[in-house]
Every structure is written in C-alpha cells, then in structure tokens.
Structure 1
Amino acid sequence: MSARSETAATPGTGASREVAAAVSRWLAPVVEHGLPDGPARGRVTGHHLGYVRVLAWETGALRLTRGAGSIARDAADAVALVIPLYGTVRLAQDGRGACVESGQPALLDLRRAFSVEQRDRARVLVLRLPVHALHVPVAHLRSVTARALTPASGMAALLATVLPHLEQSAPRIPPAVGERLGGIVTELVAALVDELAEREERPSGTGRDRLVTGIREYIDRHLEDPELSAERIAAAHLISVRYLHRLFQGEGITVGRLIQRRRVEECARELARRGRVSPSVSVVAVRWGFGSAAHFSRAFKAVHGHAPQQWLRPADTPVTGAGPAVRAADGTAGSARAS
C-alpha cells in the first residue's frame, strides 16, 4: 500500500460530522454526538504508511464514541496511538479516563468501546496499527489504554518527537519507504506497550526467579513439541516475547539456545542407553523435537564441539588422530589416541 494522502476540508457547518466520517473510515466505526458549540470549520487528513494508517484532524468541540453496536458490526483488529499536537483530548476506555495534553501519547484498543472528546479546538494525530503486527499480549494492551503518557523518556518520548514530523512528511514519502516506516513505527509502539506493562507488572527478586523457573519447567515439559518457540512460551506465560528475552539476558543463555541444549541433553541421555533395542539417532532426534538427524547433529556439535557419532564411540574403540578426550556411551571419558 502506498504512502498516499486523502484530505477533507469542511468550509461550512458540520466539521465534527466530517471528522466522525473520517474516523469511521480510517480507524473504526464511531458515532458523533453533536455538541452545542460544535465547530463550523475543520480539516482532516489521512495517509497510509504500509499497513499503518495515519489520520490527523483539526477542529473544535467534538465527541465520538464507539459502543457495543458498532463493535458487533465491525470488530476492528487494531489499536490507535493518539497524540494531540495542540489542545487537549479526553479519552475513556476500560473504566479509565484521561485528559491527554499536547505532546502526550495515549493508546486505545479499537476492538473495545471507547470515547474521544475535546471541548476546545485541537489538532490530533492518530495512528492505526493492526494488533497482530504488534505481537503483544491482550493483557498488556488492557493495562495501558486510556492513559496519558508523559514523554519524559523511553518510547513515549521517542514517539512524541518522531511522529509529528513523520505525519508532515507522509505525502512526500515513496511507497517502498512508507512500507518500511510503517514496520518501524509498529515496532516502536509494541516496545511502548511492553515498557508500560512491564513497569507495572515486572516481577522483582523472588517473583522474577519464580517466573524464570516456571518457564524452564514449561520448556522441559514441551521439549518433544517441534513447534516449541519463544512466541509460544511467552503466550503461555502472558508476557511478551521481548520481555521473555529480557528475562533470560540475566540467565547467560537465549531461550532458543536453552531449548536446543535441553533437547541435545535428552537425546544424548536416551542414546546412551545402548543395547540391541536402542533406537537410531534419527528416531531419537525426531522424538525430541528435531526436524531431522542432520539438524540434531548440527545442534549436538554446537553444544559439545563434536558430532554425536564421536560421543557414541565405545571407550575401547581407537580414534584416529590426536585430539581431546571423547565421551563414551556409558558417560566415561575415553582418551583419544593414535591408531
């Protein structure tokens, strides 16, 4: 999708209706509630940056709501980042309400009821982002909606600085660049959601240790599942993938490497039970989540520094060439010696 613009100027009455129509078309269906001192003039502009929709309006008193009826008709799978460029906007969702001042970012989940209200003239910038592109837990979104974020530092400060300039430049951005910028903005908003949710719910001390222990136990229980991944682990523990990786920064190993190492250990343990009925390397590898014997062999070498065939060599079998000790099938170390 190109980085194109669509503008509607209202030279006469009914500016709030124009804004409501643009919001319904670009963000999610809303109902406009006419205010007695509603504006006679207003301006609405819209742009596409890939799958990110950028909408800006400038108008006076305005009230828009999204209720259960409109949600039933159109379950928009998207969130909105709202930044007043000047003026004040009141947002309400999930039982919370916040007066969002100029330069303050705030979030709305377009899949649930909300309201947007301004009593005086304001210019408001809104970005619509697909929820599936954010890859953040639903619980995180619920905890951060309809809150005015003071952009003193972190992602809120970065977005408050960058997005107004991006909106001004959007009509001149080539389509290919717009696609990439949309992805970058999505990553920044996802990081903002994670940052806010983790600030409130981040476990400390014993709580963090319990979470890491629980994740390790979950990995051990699901080692045989070839679909085991960071995304699945994060979803099972109601945290984001980013936070999962952040937890394991202090563990000295990445989640992916931990899964691989544990699978190698279980394969090695099973293959060590040598005998006439011992399963083949390929059977054991697939049983513990590896796609093939070749995949297992590469993983084994990454963990132990040599191929599994060397590890399985009986201790009394000569090894050609000098080299380090080779672990025998019974777990003892056999010395490598020249033939």
Structure 2
Amino acid sequence: MLTHPPGSGSGSLTRTHYSADTVPAGRRRGYWREALARTFGAVDVAVPDDVRSGTIRTVVLGRVQAVTVESEPQFARRTQRLIACADNEDFVVVKLLCRGGARVEQDARDNAVRPGQLFVYDMARPIRLALPEPFQTKSLVLPRAVLGLDESDISRITASPIGSESAIGGMLSPFLSQLVDTAEACPEPVGELIARNVVDLLTVLADERRGADTTDSPSGARVLLTRIRAFIDANLTDPGLTPEAVARAHHVSVRYLHKLFESEGVTVSRWIQRRRLEECRRTLARRDAADTTVAGVAHRWGFTSASHFSRVFRAAYGQSPVDWRNAAAAGRSVRPRPTGPHGRACDQAV
C-alpha cells in the first residue's frame, strides 16, 4: 500500500499530492514508480536509483484528471502485456511539455518533443516515453469515451508534437495549461467546460489529419465557439460584454452567434452571466474573501448591480453570496477522505 503526503479534498473534487522528497531515501524509487502508475495507469517505469525529488499533483474534475508532474529523468513503457492486464484504464493522455526534453513513440511514430509542445498518446496501445532530463509536464487524462473519437481517429493524432505555431496548438496549449493550473481552485463545472474546449480542439485536429474540410463543418463551428468562449472568459470583468460586442469582435452576426450557442442549451447572455457567477462563487470561497465585500466581488466580475447579483446568485446556487462565503470558510477545516484517480483510497488531511 502506497503511503503519500496528504492532499486535500472538498466537494466532488479529488486531489492527490505525491512527493518523493518526504519519503526515506531507500523507499523513494519504489514510491515514485507506484505514484506514476497510480496517476497514469500501469507502465514499466525506469527511474534513477538515487531519485531525490519529484512531485505529482492531480485534481479530478468529473471524468477528467488534471496532472502536473515535476521530476528527474525517467523512461516509461506500456507494453501489450500491461494493456491486456489493465482494468478500466482506457485513457487518452494530452501532455504539455513545459520544461526539459522528451521523445515519444506510438503508432509507428517516433518524435522528439520540445518545451512548449503538446502531444497525445493512447493508453490502449503500446507506447514509449523518454524524459532524459529534469522536466515539468501538465497533462489531461481523458477517458476515450469523452473524446468521442474512434481508434483510427485517435491514431492520427498520437505521438505527433503540436506547437503554438499551429492554429490548433495555439489555442490548445493555453486551455490545457489554464485547466491544470486552476483545477484545484475552480468549481467543477468550470473545469469541465475548459476540458470540453480541449476535447473540441482535439476533435478538430483529428478532422484535419483525416483531410476533412472544417470551414463549414460542425468541427469548424466548435473551433469558433471555443474562441468565443475564450474571449468571453477574458472579458468577464467588462460590464459592456454583451452578445452584440461578442459578435462584433468575431465578425459574425448576433443571429449566428445565438445559433452557435444553441448546442450549449443556453443563450449568450445567460452563458456570460453563468460564467460571471462561477467566478464570483470561486472568489467568495477564497481564504481572503472575508476582507472583500460581496458588492466588490460582483463589480469585479462585471455585475453593475449588487442587488441583481445577489438575486441571480441565490437562484443559481440556492443560497445568498454571504451564506456561500461563510459556508466555504467553515468547510475549509473539514475535508472528506476521497478516493484516488483510479478508485484507490487516498489518505487526506488539511
């Protein structure tokens, strides 16, 4: 049984924190190998005998797992034997290399990866991953079913580095990095929305590799919708953020903008309000929220009327902003004991 330093959990989020630094030197190598296997699934991992440091931070948001790894060099291999023995590990990993170098082999591809590039690999097929120098990565671990891609589509995008110089990479990297960096603080619905942006862009990438014309395709519309959602998120604090302003910024009609949001089951105005409410809710749950007025938080996120904000907040969450802030402050001292990303129990403490 792996024992690891405590993380923290609240609500439907599961957080796990592994740190080799806190384990006696003689146990670090085995500890680190098991921590990696628990996070990404069963792999053969080669790590230095004298491994000194390494951290893995994971946050589970619904069906998506956000992971940050900082470590010394390591080499991982997933063989057909491990795949055959795996239980419910049908995952696809989207990984951003932040620091260090890497080499990935899958589906007859063997490519070097530079810092700032993303790559995708499928845990249902053999893979080799070499990280020959100290590194940092940010990853999303997605069940195959979430992607909605068949095996042939996934095989078109595996082990192929995607840089910010490409249109897809330029959007995909910020979304992935934002989700991994903020997963622990953001409400689960927000994280799932950002994760969906990543999924949409991967779908478009698979379409492009297939040679499909995405200009007027559903995938092309998803890319535009992804851009628009990112624009809205970047401008939530602007009280002048309206459907007209959003449409003007993207050179589309308001009518077409509303058509894009039909797939979200909500109007553009309601989407903007929902995102503002989510950010207000997150801000009010922070430790320093007691020093900020509710009206101040509302105005910071684009609400022009504090009374209107209080009404829509109560309608959305079933309690007033003040009650939510007080409950969040009280709840920080009590945390449940969650399970790990693959269903294993994790010792947790505040």
Q: TM-score range by the shorter chain?
A: 0.5 to 0.7
Residue in 2 aligned with 1:47? 59
Once the two structures are superposed, the pairs formed by residues 51-62 of structure 1 within 5 Å of their partners are 51-62=63-74
Q: Matched residues in 1 for 2:135 and 2:90: separation?
A: 27
2:18 pairs with one of 3, 8, 26: 8
Q: How many residues align?
A: 206
Q: Matched residues in 2 for 1:194 and 1:19: separation?
A: 37
How far off is 1:182 after superposition? 3.0
- Given that 2:18 and 2:56 are in contact with CA atoms closer than 8 Å, whether structure 1 keeps it comes out as yes
TM score, norm. by length of structure 1: 0.55
Letter in 2 for 1:42: G
Residue in 2 aligned with 1:147? 160
How far off is 1:189 after superposition? 2.5
Q: Does 1:138 align with 2:138?
A: no
RMSD of equivalent CA atoms: 2.8
Residue in 2 aligned with 1:97? 110
SS in 2 for 1:139: helix
- Given that 1:144 and 1:193 are in contact with CA atoms closer than 8 Å, whether structure 2 keeps it comes out as yes
Q: Does 1:159 align with 2:169?
A: no
Q: Does 1:83 align with 2:122?
A: no
- Given that 2:92 and 2:143 are in contact with CA atoms closer than 8 Å, whether structure 1 keeps it comes out as yes
Percent identity over paired residues? 22
Residue in 2 aligned with 1:64? 76
Residue in 2 aligned with 1:209? none
2:129 pairs with one of 116, 120, 132: 116
Q: Matched residues in 2 for 1:139 and 1:62: separation?
A: 29
Once the two structures are superposed, the pairs formed by residues 174-213 of structure 1 within 5 Å of their partners are 174-195=187-208, 197-198=209-210, 201-202=211-212
Once the two structures are superposed, the pairs formed by residues 257-276 of structure 1 within 5 Å of their partners are none
Q: Matched residues in 2 for 1:134 and 1:87: separation?
A: 28
TM score, norm. by length of structure 2: 0.53
Letter in 2 for 1:103: G
How far off is 1:104 after superposition? 0.3
Letter in 2 for 1:46: T
Structure 1 residues 16 and 190, CA gap change in structure 2 (3 angstroms): farther
- Given that 1:107 and 1:147 are in contact with CA atoms closer than 8 Å, whether structure 2 keeps it comes out as yes
How far off is 1:27 after superposition? 2.4
How far off is 1:32 after superposition? 1.3
Deviates more, 1:133-142 or 1:186-195: 186-195
Q: Matched residues in 1 for 2:127 and 2:191: separation?
A: 29
Q: Deviations over 1:155-195 (max 9, x none)?
A: 21112123223212111112333333333332233223323
How far off is 1:9 after superposition? 0.9
Deviates more, 1:73-82 or 1:106-115: 73-82
Q: Matched residues in 2 for 1:169 and 1:202: separation?
A: 34
- Given that 1:47 and 1:53 are in contact with CA atoms closer than 8 Å, whether structure 2 keeps it comes out as yes
Q: Matched residues in 2 for 1:15 and 1:148: separation?
A: 31
- Given that 2:179 and 2:195 are in contact with CA atoms closer than 8 Å, whether structure 1 keeps it comes out as no
Q: Matched residues in 1 for 2:57 and 2:150: separation?
A: 31
Structure 1 residues 39 and 181, CA gap change in structure 2 (3 angstroms): same
How far off is 1:16 after superposition? 5.8
Structure 1 residues 60 and 182, CA gap change in structure 2 (3 angstroms): same
SS in 2 for 1:171: coil
Residue in 2 aligned with 1:310? none
Gaps of 5+ in 2: 1-10, 224-350
Structure 1 residues 182 and 150, CA gap change in structure 2 (3 angstroms): closer
Letter in 2 for 1:5: R
Deviates more, 1:117-126 or 1:130-139: 130-139
Once the two structures are superposed, the pairs formed by residues 311-322 of structure 1 within 5 Å of their partners are none
How far off is 1:122 after superposition? 0.3
SS in 1 for 2:156: helix
2:45 pairs with one of 6, 10, 32: 32
- Given that 1:4 and 1:170 are in contact with CA atoms closer than 8 Å, whether structure 2 keeps it comes out as no
SS in 2 for 1:164: helix
Residue in 2 aligned with 1:294? none
Letter in 1 for 2:34: A
Considering Cα pairs closer than 8 Å and 6+ residues apart, tell me whether 1 or 2 has the greater RCO.
2
